[in-house]
Structure 1
Amino acid sequence: MTKNRWLRCLSSLVLLCTLTAAGGADLGLAKDKKNNHAVQTGIERLLENPQILKGKKVGLITNPTGVTVDLTHDVDALLEKNINLVAVYGPEHGIRGTEQAGSAPGTYEDPKTGLPFYNLYGKTPQEIAPIFSDVDVILFDIQDVGSRFYTYISTMAYAMKAAALQDKPFIVLDRPNPIGGVKVEGPVLDPDYQSFVGIYPIPVRHGMTVGELAVLFNEQFLEKELGKKANLEIVQMKGWKRDMQYDETGLPWVLPSPNMPTPETALVYPGNCLFEGTNLSEGRGTTRPFELIGAPYIKGWEIADRMNRLDLPGVSFREAYFNPTFSKHAGINVGGLQLYVTDRDGYDPIRTALTIMVELKKQYPNDFAWRSDNWIDKLMGTDKIRKAIDKGASVDEIIADWQGGLKAFQQLRKSYLLYR
């Protein structure tokens, strides 16, 4: 081989390697390894076989996250398949996702499709049941974020009860748990603290999909409460694995609610949502909700330095200052922290949040306070954590106290896992 020919071959090899590193789009080469494991959601699988809905009047519980992989909304996708969709129902924040926490629009006619849009948020199962009277089957397709106090799973449970009262089939179109289906963390809810942010005794981070939760709720609770179970069916995903984070699914992220802009928000949410129960801002009214934590009395450099010295696994802290546009401390400059998750596998959101609370209680004993309505107890599902922090307990002592209940739940959940 001549020297020039050898150099041309070498140049071609370099070009081939460069294109491969860039994705190989022009050469038809294999895509990134993660994309080979793209997940097919329940709605995608249903649309492959829509005949199961043939001849039925269909009701759909959804919000902006109810989309196909090409971002077609469920409403449009079902209508394109000539499914007789007659009603659409929404959870907190509304079907279009326009409302802030604790709000939902009322019933109205959708200007695009002419379909009636009903609000389910704030209604009991007995109040929801009549709203289902004109449909033959109810579909549920909403992206959850993996935390007990995110209210979409409560809406699902209430809707399942309402469907059971009306003897209507209830079909859950399953979606990934965006923070994975392996880790189970936090205290199991004490039934004495049952509320819409915690209706059943599961831990803060449950590690289950909505489909798995639906089966657990149906088998463990609905029959005891109603004397009957829902006629439940799960359209399972294809390709989802329990250790997947959301960016490994190949699915587009649509905001589940106005303050859940990214999958990274969902990752910190099981811990940092707990600051709703304090006088600190949890970052609502900023572009980084639940990643920013602060209050007017906090010196950011003090708490950031202290937290970084503790060397918690999988997370680092930056002193941060922000001015929320709404919610707590709106229009006021506050100091605090921004969290940076450096290792998703090592990071424990609940331990991290508790550690921040304990340290703030030490540094600002006269300023740090709980919300007057003890909202922290509803979020935690118990009053033990609040009382333990007030008594000066360590984070290790607090976490050790809930391990018995957590282990019992881990054993219980094994029977309801649809993806092994």
Structure 2
Amino acid sequence: MRLNVFKNTVLLFVLVLISCGNKFKSEDGVNIVEDTSTALSVTKAIVVGANQTELYLPLLNGKRVGIVANQTSVIFENKMDSIYEVDPETNALILYETQHRNTHLIDSLISLNVDVVKVFAPEHGFRGKADAGELIKDGIDLKTGLPIVSLHGKNKKPTNDQLSDLDIVVFDIQDVGARFYTYISTLHYVMEACAENNIPLIILDRPNPNGNYVDGPTLEKEHQSFLGMHPIPLVHGMTIGEYAKMINGEQWLLNGVQCNITIITCENYTHKTPYSLSIRPSPNLPNDQSIKLYPSLGLFEGTTINAGRGTEFQFQRYGAPFLNPETMTFTYTPQSNFGAKHPKHKDKLCYGEDLSDTSVTNEMTLKWVIKAYKNALDKSLFFNTNNFTKHAGTKKLQQQIEQGLSENEIKDSWKKDLEKFRVVRNKYLLYK
């Protein structure tokens, strides 16, 4: 089966412009480097922070550099490879996908004689192949020979020793905008460690594919974990750069320390701009549909329901052997595969629902979790209570589902917290 490849229609048939940047000091003390070119009456391609080397290479000159990176940390080339196939009925040549050429950030910086000393790797590892939650060991990158320090192994926060031979750190990881997606937790710990060691941090910003809405229950302080460290909704609607500003501004770092951050912003991006990823941000988010569904189906991670792990349709289906086969008529059997060595209900027939062709609106929905719970033949098997609370950020959600509340009733209970968050969020937005 041919793997579904992300398509970024925003980057098709557009004019790519090279423009100068301007560096200034914002009111909250964060250095922002952004495009200041005159807007033209044409649709311009999104340019991610990593691509704007002219803005951050001078900041790395003569410095010993550490980089927080994974497989998404790339510089996109202007050229794109188009892939065609023949329509068997008409023999016409049809363009079915385009793939952007890219070079990894680390390879590019080394070729530009930047003194890259080491790499820090988040969950899933530097090459992004490890299972969710799998502990990653330190190692050596075979291609570059650089030491790789795991931030999802024996420590999630860089130690003083690990930072002792660095002058500056660069953070460049693609996020998907869900609170329990752990890259923003890694961002927190990197910022905290850099602040404590007086090391500046450069953030190469990238668009958030779920950045056009805010939704979900807000994390309660007593349920903080690596799956959620801050009092934000499940869908926060911010880029990594914006989120870093919020971490500083709300004084969420230990003892209120402040990290010296410089953000290389994206060009031609707003929160209303559709954005499609060309590289999997993690092993089990293979395409746009999975990323759009992830905030909703991610809650299944705190239950005994399989959310497509162990298939080629991760976060595009859900099921379990104990769901009612009379109403949940879609079936599949999870098996070991890339990114899921031990999926839930491995080698067992699961009854559930296929969402791979479902239209997804700009909201986080509970309808699938509620439907699965109602169709569980043994409801005592459904929740992994501690894990579900960590994902939801509150105990209330499980209680509301068990009590039989409707989705609208549950969502009404979120409204005040969401309104408060939007006010706070607005202070830190770089893109409107």
For the aligned pair, the TM-score class normalised by the smaller chain equals 0.7 to 0.9
Q: Of 322, 331, 352, which residue of structure 1 is paired with 2:333?
A: 322
- The structure that has the greater radius of gyration is 1
Aligned partner of 1:185 in structure 2 is: 215
* TM-superposition CA deviations, 1:86-139 (whole Å, max 9, x none): 111100111111211112432222222121111011455765332111100000
User: Are 1:376 and 2:357 matched, yes or no?
Assistant: no
Number of aligned residue pairs: give it: 367
Match for residue 21 of structure 1? none
Distance 1:265 1:303 in 2: 20
Given the alignment, which residue of 225, 228, 239 partners 1:209? 239
2:162 maps to 1:131: yes
Cα deviation 1:174-227 (Å, max 9, x = unaligned): 001012x2210001110110000000011111110000000001111345x323
Relative to structure 1, the CA distance from residue 388 to residue 134 in structure 2 (aligned partners, 3 Å threshold; closer, same or farther) is: same
Structure 2 gap ranges (5+): 1-10, 17-42, 78-101, 337-341
Q: Residue 250 of structure 2 aligns to which amino acid in structure 1?
A: Q
Asked if residue 153 in structure 1 is aligned to residue 196 in structure 2, the reply is: no
CA offset digits 1:252-307 (Å, max 9, x no partner): 61111111111221110001010111121111111111111001122456147xxx
* 8 Å CA contact retained: 1:292, 1:320: no
- Which residue of the partner structure matches residue 339 of structure 1? 355
* Aligned partner letter, 2:388: I
Query: Which secondary structure does the structure 2 equivalent of 1:60 belong to?
Result: strand
- Alpha-carbon contact 1:361-1:368 (below 8 Å) kept: no
1:391 Cα shift? 1.4
Which of 68, 71, 77 is the matching residue for 1:64? 71
Return the structure number with greater helix share. Answer: 1
For residues 203-242 of structure 1, the aligned pairs below 5 Å read: 203-222=233-252, 225-242=254-271
Task: Determine the C-alpha separation between the residues in 2 that align with 1:262 and 1:158.
Answer: 28
Where 2:174 maps in the other structure, the secondary structure is coil
> Match of 1:282, as an amino acid?
A
**Alpha-carbon spacing, 1:54–1:407, altered in 2? closer, same or farther (3 Å):** same
Paired residue for 1:405?
Answer: 417
Deviation at 1:31, TM superposition (A): 6.0
Match of 1:195 among 225, 228, 231: 225
Gaps of 5+ in 1: 1-29, 305-318
Whether the aligned pair in 1 keeps the contact of 2:157 and 2:190 (CA below 8 Å) is no
3-state SS, counterpart of residue 69 of structure 1:
strand
Of the candidates 334, 343, 361, which is equivalent to residue 373 of structure 2?
361
| DSSP 3-state at the match of 2:241 | helix
- In the TM superposition, residue 320 of structure 1 has moved relative to its aligned partner by 4.0
Corresponding position of 1:100: 131
Q: What is the CA–CA distance in structure 1 between the aligned matches of 2:56 and 2:198, rounded to whole Å?
A: 24
Distance in 2 (alpha carbons) for counterparts of 1:112 and 1:303:
47
Quote the Cα distance in structure 2 between the aligned partners of 1:298 and 1:215: 44
Distance 1:363 1:53, change over 3 A: closer
Q: CA deviation at 1:240?
A: 1.1
Kindly indicate whether the alpha-carbon contact (under 8 Å) linking 2:299 and 2:388 is maintained by their aligned counterparts in 1: yes
Mapping for residues 43-58 of structure 1, pairs under 5 Å:
43-47=50-54, 49-58=56-65
> More displaced, 44-53 or 402-411?
44-53
Cα distance in 2 for residues equivalent to 1:75 and 1:243: 30
- Matched residue, 1:246: 275
**Contact persistence 1:64–1:96 (CA under 8 A):** yes
Are residues 394 and 231 of structure 1, via their aligned partners in 2, closer, same or farther at CA, if it must alter by over 3 Å? same
Question: Could you say what the CA RMSD is over the residues aligned between the two structures, in angstroms?
Answer: 2.2
- Choose between structure 1 and 2: higher strand proportion: 2
Distance (whole Å) between structure 1 residues aligned to residue 151 and residue 12 of structure 2: 42
CA distance in 2, matches of 1:360, 1:342: 17
SS at match of 1:196: coil
**d(CA) in 2 for partners of 1:118, 1:153:** 17
Aligned-pair CA distance for 1:340: 4.1
Which of 115-124 and 280-289 deviates more?
Answer: 115-124
Judge which range, 185-194 or 369-378, deviates more: 369-378
Cα distance change on mapping 1:374 and 1:103 into 2, 3 Å: same
Amino acid at match of 1:166: N
Distance 1:51 1:294, change over 3 A: same
Write the letter of the residue equivalent to 1:339. Answer: L
In structure 1, give the amino acid aligned to 2:295: P
When residues 53 and 127 of structure 1 are mapped into structure 2, their CA distance, relative to the original with a 3 A threshold, is closer
CA distance in 1, matches of 2:203, 2:75: 15
1:33 Cα deviation after fit:
5.5
Indicate if the aligned counterparts of 1:125 and 1:161 stay in contact, CA closer than 8 A: no
Partners of 1:340 and 1:127 in 2: CA distance? 39
Q: Which amino acid aligns with 1:417?
A: L
1:359 Cα offset (Å) = 2.7
Deviating more after overlay: 93-102 vs 137-146 = 93-102
Written as runs of structure 1 = structure 2, the 5 A alignment for 1:13-28 is: none
Quote the residue 1:395 is aligned against: 407
What is the deviation of 1:369? 3.4
- Alpha-carbon distance in 1 for matches of 2:425, 2:402: 32
C-alpha distance in 1 between matches for 2:60 and 2:192: 21
Match of 1:266 among 288, 291, 309: 291
User: What CA distance in whole angstroms lies between the structure 2 residues aligned with 1:244 and 1:285?
Assistant: 32
Residue of structure 2 in register with 1:5 after alignment: none
Structure 2 CA distance for partners of 1:195 and 1:87, relative to 1, 3 Å: same
